[in-house]
Amino acid sequence: MILRTFGWSAALTGVAMLVALAYQGPGALALVAILAVLEISLSFDNAVVNAKVLDRMSPFWQKIFLTVGIAVAVFGMRLLFPLVIVALTAKLSPMRAFDLALSEPHRYETIMRDAYPMIAGFGGAFLLMLFLNWVFEERELRWLGPPERFLARMGRLDQLPVVVTGGVLALVSGLVADDPAEVMIAGVLGMITYILVEGLGALFSDVSDDEEADEAGEAGEAGQEAGAAPARRGGPSSAALAVGKAGFFLFLYLEVLDASFSFDGVIGAFAISTDPIVIALGLGVGAMYIRSLTVYLVRKGTLHEYEYLEHGAHWAIGALSVCMMISIGHELPDWVTGGIGAGLILVSFLSSVVRNRRETAAESVESSPEPAGGEPSEQEIAALEEDEKAVRPGGMP
């Protein structure tokens, strides 16, 4: 499975390295490798969240995500997006912006960095909406215990994520932004994008479920009238078309989500290289591995086996959105944003391992007779519970 899942990423990595070597020699080769590692470290939490969404998509849309989606991620976000930002900011044509990147890389970098507050406002608001909609939702399984329980109770207030995100945008744009209107407009557009894409995906998903239920009911009634078993559906139908629409909007949602995660990496890449070709190659290789990791998590069922991973990824998204908001006025090193996300996911993974061990021990106690001379199995369970508290942030139950 590993070879099949990561094979294309490994092959394209080899191609990218050869292109970098032919383009500017060993120096470019080393920069591409560094940028790939940067992209993977900053976007690991993206893979976990993507896997949760990808698990709801049909095999067809999963393939679209891996083919068309990777083209959008590599060429759209890692190559064209910086050029478009520079072209709009400096009022140049895209080709002139590309020439500027090759002939005056330092000016190109300055224009990109000047545009970062607007980019961070959009991406930060989008990711914050994603995190708040998740954390304000009621769920049986909780990783952080009391904090998640409290936030779920707060989430009973309708449209609270919109209220909180709007308040954060107003606070950030008013206190730290050099151009408050620019940041506020970009943030509101990020909120609108999230609400629109998420809402359309949910709408068509609900329509698909309703149509499938109606068709199943009609088939069952027809079968009963004919004195036969309910007929099975076959061939294309309006329900299949609705599922296609739902898959399309899930795909669109994943692309916007990937774009929001990539903003930080694209800007941070300029600290390593200002060459657009080198940046596109390095970040593109990293994006390929993130895509492959997403598919691996889905096929392996890792999110179902290690159930706290989803929690850790969403808390990492919340941390990233806060870092993006802070970076509008105060620059943060890449190792801070990447380290926080990786740390939260690592802790959630360890919590999941301990939880699985505890459940396995509990099942063995229930299925085996009570041992003579005391209750060592219960002591083992208590020890495992203590281990789980130790790996949770703050030792929360």
Burial of 326 (0-12, 13-18, 19+ CB in 10 A): middle
- pLDDT in single tens digits along all 397 residues of the chain: 677 777 778 888 888 889 888 888 888 888 888 888 877 776 777 777 778 777 777 778 877 877 787 778 777 777 787 778 778 777 778 788 888 877 887 888 788 788 888 888 888 888 899 889 888 888 888 887 788 888 888 888 888 899 999 999 999 988 888 888 988 998 998 899 888 877 776 666 555 555 555 555 555 555 555 554 444 444 433 333 334 677 787 788 778 777 777 776 776 677 677 777 888 888 888 888 888 888 888 777 777 788 888 888 888 888 888 888 888 888 777 677 777 877 888 888 888 888 888 888 877 777 766 555 555 556 666 666 666 565 555 555 5
335 near 38, Cβ under 8 Å? no
pLDDT at 230: 46
Side chain identity at residue 375, one-letter code: E
Longest dimension (CA), the chain: 82
H/E segment holding residue 109: helix 105-114
Q: Cβ neighbours of residue 123 under 8 Å, at least 6 residues apart?
A: 190, 259, 260, 261, 263, 264, 321, 324
Structure tokens at 20: 């970098």
pLDDT at 375: 53
Neighbours of 5 (CB within 10 A): 19
Phi, psi of 156 (to 5 degrees): -65, -20
pLDDT at 287: 82
pLDDT at 86: 79
Neighbours of 23 (CB within 10 A): 15
Question: Rounded distance, CA 266 to CA 112, Å?
Answer: 10
Nearest one of 322, 324, 298 to 310, comparing CA atoms = 298
Structure tokens at 106: 């330092």
Side chain identity at residue 218, one-letter code: E
What's the 3-state SS for 2-55? HHHHHHHHHHHHHHHHHHHHHHHCHHHHHHHHHHHHHHHHHHHHHHHHHHHHHC
Side chain identity at residue 302, one-letter code: T
Q: How many helices (H) and strands (E) does the chain have?
A: 16, 0
pLDDT at 188: 92
pTM for the model stands at: 0.69
pLDDT at 370: 55
